[in-house]
Amino acid sequence: MKVIANFIRKVTNEQGKTELTFELATRQLEELENVPYSLDIKKVKDIRSLRQNAMFWALLGEIAKELNYDGDVYLIYCDIIENTSEAFTFVETTEEAVEILKKSFRAVRMIKETEHLSPRNKPMNIYKCYYRK
């Protein structure tokens, strides 16, 4: 589960442990159990609402149709990212790892098939992976 919240305060409790208080914008949490949780706290870079996000991808779909991308919205998205000043790196990996790359980077595009094989004898490709600076 991922939530967006505003930091309110940090206090030290009676046991000498730090307590953090955050305020959630909406009721985003289900009932939490009294068990340890792993937290990853970082500043929010972009807040685009779900409605805005849906509109963005719908518009990309219309652009893909107009430019004869065969409805491949992700290719249009990669083109947009590629034409901005985004930072990128190259990764050589198997096709089965592409979904992991897509979760880690803003956009991923296969650049070249190679003759290299993975330790499990799977073909390797070179991918250009875009990220924010």
Asked if 127 and 110 count as a contact pair (C-beta separation under 8 A), the reply is yes
* pLDDT per residue as tens digits for the range 64-93: 888 887 768 888 888 888 887 678 999 999
Asked if 101 and 127 count as a contact pair (C-beta separation under 8 A), the reply is yes
Whether 28 shows a pLDDT value over 70: the answer reads no
Q: Find tokens 């790892």 and name the residue.
A: 97
The pTM of the full predicted model, rounded to 2 decimals, is 0.53
State which of 82-86, 116-120, 123-127 shows the largest mean pLDDT: 123-127
